[in-house]
């Protein structure tokens, strides 16, 4: 563990040391993350996209709205997730029409959270929470933000027992990749939730995670 922590800290020392938080927002290019999830092989559609009312299991991670023990409430047209997850961390979908959709967006398929306005209403698209539960806890990850219009996103990181590691705001939102790194190098990020207050909502694409191979 100490060797892995030193490896990650060597990749982005200034950002991590200056962060002063349990999880740091770092340059994604500083991270070596061999596992990649895209949504290009999943049924998708234009406009509101293809509605997904259940949890979405993919190799390495499962996607939904929140974790068991939490509740969702409306903050305007956006989702707000409240409460502490139960142990062990367990994925839950949103209500019918208020979970996820997979949308064609500039040649790619991206994942939307659908807010309380419900599918297929435009005011709900991209305004719902997106939860991610890893098969194996992680120390670093990155994903592409899509469709942001200079609003705010909040990423909340949880351990396997449901406890909160920390929250990282991303502001302003836009079209770029964000990277996150545990400041101690601990591989205890079992899952995370993205909420936002962006005026047009956001989507995500190309989740990167995993540990570099042990070449010793």
Q: CA-CA distances (angstroms) from residue 215 to 4, 6, 139, 211, 212?
A: 12, 15, 19, 12, 9
The 10s digit of each residue's pLDDT in 5-40 is 333 334 443 445 458 899 999 999 999 999 999 999
Confidence label for 143 from pLDDT (cuts 50, 70 and 90): very high
The 10s digit of each residue's pLDDT in 61-76 is 999 999 999 999 999 9
pTM over 0.85: yes
In the predicted model, is pLDDT for residue 151 greater than 50? yes
| Percent of the chain residues topping a pLDDT of 70 | 90
DSSP-derived letter for residue 83 is: S
In a 3-state reduction of DSSP, which class is residue 79?
Answer: strand
In a 3-state reduction of DSSP, which class is residue 15?
Answer: helix
Confidence label for 212 from pLDDT (cuts 50, 70 and 90): confident
CA distance 97 to 5: 41
């Amino acid at each position: 563990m100490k060797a892995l922590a030193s490896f990650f800290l060597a990749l982005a020392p200034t950002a991590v040391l200056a962060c002063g938080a349990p999880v740091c927002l770092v340059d994604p290019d500083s991270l070596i993350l061999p596992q990649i999830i895209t949504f290009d092989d999943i049924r998708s559609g234009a406009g509101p996209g293809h509605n997904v009312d259940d949890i979405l299991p993919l190799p390495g991670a499962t996607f939904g709205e929140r974790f068991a023990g939490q509740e969702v409430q409306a903050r305007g047209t956006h989702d707000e997730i409240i409460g502490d997850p139960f142990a062990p961390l367990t994925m839950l979908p949103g209500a019918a029409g208020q979970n996820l959709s997979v949308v064609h967006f500039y040649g790619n398929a991206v994942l939307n959270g659908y807010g309380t306005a419900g599918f297929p209403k435009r005011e709900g698209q991209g305004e719902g929470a997106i939860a991610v539960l890893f098969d194996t806890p992680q120390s670093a990850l990155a994903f592409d933000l899509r469709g942001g219009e200079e609003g705010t996103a909040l990423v909340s990181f949880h351990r396997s027992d449901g406890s909160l590691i920390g929250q990282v705001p991303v502001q302003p939102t836009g079209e770029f990749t964000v990277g996150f790194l545990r400041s101690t190098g601990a591989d205890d990020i079992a899952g995370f939730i993205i909420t936002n207050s962006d005026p047009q909502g956001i989507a995500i694409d190309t989740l990167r995670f995993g540990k570099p191979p042990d070449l010793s």
